[in-house]
Amino acid sequence: MRNLASALLTSALLAAGVLHTGCSSFSADPTRAEKEDALADARARWESEPDSVEACVWVGRRLGYLGRYEEAVATFTRGLELYPDDPWLLRFRGHRWITLRRFDDAVRDLERARELVQGQPDVVEPDGEPNKAGVPIGTLHSNIDYHLGLALGLRGDDERSAEIWLAGLPAARANEDRLVSHSYWTWLALKRLGRDAEAAQVLAPIRPTMNILENEGYHALLLHFRGEISREELLKGVVPGTTEFATRAYGAGRKARIDGDGDAAQILFAEVVKTGPMAAFGCIAAEVEIGRSP
């Protein structure tokens, strides 16, 4: 029966244009020239302000937006050689260690960053790629916790991951974009541990209509977890090879696995890994999930 269900799922996704029978190629980033110009500006600023942590951070961030992840790490490392206890540099290097699948390094940097900001006022983190409203949704503290919880989960430290997610949940209620992204990973961490009652509580504040500026995928996934939208509705019209597809298909795969449909889960994880993008958290998590026991 499970093989039949998986076959039906595959047929449905093929018909909807979600799955592809061969390798897909995707158009080049139309904003690449703009990103290159922004990197050049960031480099010029850093050259004129060589002792500026902020200038160093922006060069590293701009390199990351261009997919130059090793160079981004090297840039943050240069900054940390001068300022080894700067939480901004540790936060951003931790993120790029995740991109490079170096989860132990990510945890080391992010745990240290978390220690350094304890008891310090939180500050808004400016966006390098602003949302449609131009309103930043993250802060230094929230982004340290977000990336640390993710890195811990990716390396298999489920108890510590859940601890971080739960600790950060009250602060995530500051806006509904943060609430849905944080709640999504919290729910997955708790379900992994079999803490179903706590997971159900995480879903309680989620409503069909929320003020979401950029995390529509996480919002839709939480509604899927609540049983309010189907897997087909979740994935309909979402283009493979995009971060949005990686997010939704990975989350759908986790839900399928939780529900006992391991075959459908593997189909979804495999499609995410095949199409990328490689820096998407959904793609990284799908790689890890394929190798994990149900």
- Asked if the model's pLDDT at residue 146 lies above 90, the reply is yes
- Asked if the model's pLDDT at residue 124 lies above 80, the reply is yes
State the pLDDT at residue 293: 65
Q: Which candidate, 253, 247, 188, 189, places its Cα nearest to that of 220?
A: 247
State the pLDDT at residue 24: 33
Amino acid 194 reads G
Q: Which candidate, 275, 215, 269, places its Cα nearest to that of 242?
A: 275
pLDDT tens digits along 67-103: 999 999 999 999 999 999 999 999 999 999 999 999 9
List the domain boundaries for the chain: 1-18+236-294
State the pLDDT at residue 240: 96
Q: How confident is the model at residue 215 (pLDDT cuts 50, 70, 90)?
A: very high
Q: Which candidate, 224, 217, 94, places its Cα nearest to that of 164?
A: 94
- Asked if the model's pLDDT at residue 6 lies above 60, the reply is no
- Asked if the model's pLDDT at residue 18 lies above 60, the reply is no
